[in-house]
Amino acid sequence: MWNAVTRAVSPSLGRCELSYIARTPIDVARARAQHRDYLRALESAGCGVLTLPVESELPDSVFVEDVAIVLDELAVLTRPGAPSRRPEVASVANLLREYRSLEAIAAPATLDGGDALSIGRMLYVGQSARSNPDGIAQLRELLAAHGYAVEGVVTRGCLHLKSAVTALSDDCVLLQPAWVDRERFADFRIIEVDPAEAHAANVLRIGDTLIMPASFPRTRRRLLDAGFEVAVVDVSELQKAEGAVTCCSLVFRSDPGA
């Protein structure tokens, strides 16, 4: 029912882009092992996992989420805000064209997939350091024809919109109030991250399954108490590269017409 595009961890992960966290040494072998566990969690959630070849010279290439937005009707290739990440797009495009028709964000616009939060027919898109107003406008234009609305949302103090808020279901979001205005999500039931776990808002939703990092037990408790089932994966080495669980896959329906 689901496919997940992924890419193995690059040996150069230690040279990744960093914006809001300090650089600390990354154990690439451990990152690889954690990534393999993540792939197993995707399989357990019902995904057919598609794995792209490793890119030795592209440090952030494991974070495939940022280079495309995949919807039932089409996929939009992004133009990542960090120039070092733009060479990641072509290989993902070559795989995605087997599953979706492709559109693309064009220069000078920039857009990172991590800024695109899709809930139903609505896409909330972070106005972040990575995604500029032109990128959001181009996405709005491309998706209007397919019945999607696109709304920009200001973020502060975090890399992407999905660092600050993700969907737990079609009517409930998990949110970090320091990084995004609660009021923008007033139509949803809002669960806030535990104050001791600043980075906990990034949860991967695959149908009714939720996956989150093992390092946020207090926030996970909040989700369990609210009736959600949540699997955990240890992604501590990927977190040192400012990544988490949504960023390591592009999940899409394998049967979009069904």
Per-residue interface string for the shown chain with ligand CIR, residues 73-112, x marking contact by CB under 6 A: ---------x--x---------------------------
Per-residue interface string for the shown chain with ligand CIR, residues 225-244, x marking contact by CB under 6 A: ----------------xxxx
Contacts of 242 by beta carbon, 8 Å cutoff, 6+ apart = 16, 17, 18, 19, 20, 21, 159
- Between 10 and 209, whose beta carbon lies closer to ligand CIR? 10
Per-residue interface string for the shown chain with ligand CIR, residues 132-161, x marking contact by CB under 6 A: ---------------------------xx-
Among candidate residues 160, 172, 199, 248, the one labeled active-site is: 160
Least CB distance to ligand CIR at residue 19 (A): 6
Sole binder of ligand CIR in the list 8, 14, 17, 87 (CB under 6 A): 17
Half-sphere CA count of 77, side-chain side, radius 13 A: 20
Minimal CB distance to ligand CIR: which residue? 114
Chain-centre distance of CA 155, in angstroms?
15
Residue 199 interacts with ligand CIR (CB under 6 A): yes or no: no
Known catalytic residue at 247:
yes
Least CB distance to ligand CIR at residue 145 (A): 26
- d(Cα 5, Cα 95) in Å, to the nearest integer? 8
Supply 198's token pair: 């600043």
Supply 226's token pair: 């609210």
Residue 216 interacts with ligand CIR (CB under 6 A): yes or no: no
Binding region for ligand CIR (CB under 6 A) out of 12-20, 133-141, 167-175, 186-194 = 12-20
Least CB distance to ligand CIR at residue 35 (A): 13
Residue 250 interacts with ligand CIR (CB under 6 A): yes or no: no
Known catalytic residue at 160:
yes
Q: Are 88 and 95 in contact (CB under 8 A)?
A: no
- Between 16 and 109, whose beta carbon lies closer to ligand CIR? 16
Binding site for ligand CIR (CB under 6 A): 16-17, 19, 60, 63, 65-66, 82, 85, 114, 159-160, 241-244, 246-247
Active site members: 160, 247
